[in-house]
Amino acid sequence: MRVRSYSFDRYVELVRDFHGYAAPGVLVGGYMVDLAYRHLHKAGLYNALCETRKCLPDAIQLLTACTTGNGWLTIHDTGRFAVTFYEKRSRQGIRVSIDTSKLDFWPEIKTWFLKLKPKAQQEEGRLRAEISAAGSSICVTRYVKVADRFIIAKDHGPVVVCPCCNETYPSSVHGLCPDCRGESGFVRLPESELESNRKTTDQTYQMASRNLNRR
Ligand SMILES: [Zn+2]
């Protein structure tokens, strides 16, 4: 079964290059995207609303023009493994998710999707074979209209320079930039720590490559 214009094996290679490894979620996600696009008008312009941060966004970014970078892919993380492709103006489109009632036919997919066993005990080869054979038959589609609150303006408007750190941020946020207001997601470390970190990383790589050469 093909994944958009690719054979399944070719798609597995693409996933490996892009995602780092052939994760089942990106493979299943490929069939979900494929199914959605079989329902959508070829000439349409679609945005994507993905309900999980895990794996599925990479299938969307590999197979469509929707990326987080260009703003056509929005992630609203409800933890559900589902994606909606919707027409920009009408906001109407197709939502694709996994139909758990169909998973009894595919024991490895069921084990993986419902997390019935720890990852180490799952059969990777059999799981991949099932994903390839099942294709989009385990998916379910719904016609939906995306709610207003998910339509995010691409342009954040004018920017100002923060008087504290000299970086720019949207002028709609008043006062200091979010970082200088204490809403940062990181803490600043002294430069000396960066150097010692680099040395530790170098040593780790050297040890790993020595061990590899010994084999
Ligand atoms: Zn600042």
CA distance 17 to 79: 25
Q: How far is the CA of 184 from the centre of ligand 1 (A)?
A: 10
Q: How far is the CA of 155 from the centre of ligand 1 (A)?
A: 20
Phi, psi (degrees; rounded to nearest 5) at 119: -50, -40
Q: Is the pLDDT of residue 131 over 60?
A: yes
Query: What's the pLDDT score for residue 172?
Result: 80
Biggest CA–CA distance in the chain, Å, is 61
Contact at 8 Å (CB) between 102 and 133?
no
Q: How far is the CA of 179 from the centre of ligand 1 (A)?
A: 6
Count of all residues that appear for the chain in the document:
215
Q: How far is the CA of 160 from the centre of ligand 1 (A)?
A: 10
Q: How far is the CA of 143 from the centre of ligand 1 (A)?
A: 44
- Here the tokens at position 31 are 């069939």
Contact at 8 Å (CB) between 121 and 115?
no
CA distance 132 to 154: 36
CA distance 45 to 18: 24
Give bridge partners of residue 142 from the DSSP assignment: 95
DSSP secondary structure letters along 124-137: HHHHHHHHHHHGGG
Q: Which domains does the chain have, with CATH numbers?
A: 8-150 (3.30.1330.130), 159-214 (no CATH)
Residues with Cβ within 8 Å of residue 151, at least 6 apart in sequence: 91
Q: How far is the CA of 170 from the centre of ligand 1 (A)?
A: 11
Is the whole-model pTM more than 0.75?
yes
Query: What's the pLDDT score for residue 213?
Result: 62
- Between residues 136 and 174, which one has the greater pLDDT? 136
Q: Is the pLDDT of residue 205 over 80?
A: no
Q: How far is the CA of 186 from the centre of ligand 1 (A)?
A: 13
Query: What's the pLDDT score for residue 130?
Result: 98
Q: How far is the CA of 126 from the centre of ligand 1 (A)?
A: 51
**Average of per-residue pLDDT across 115-121:** 92
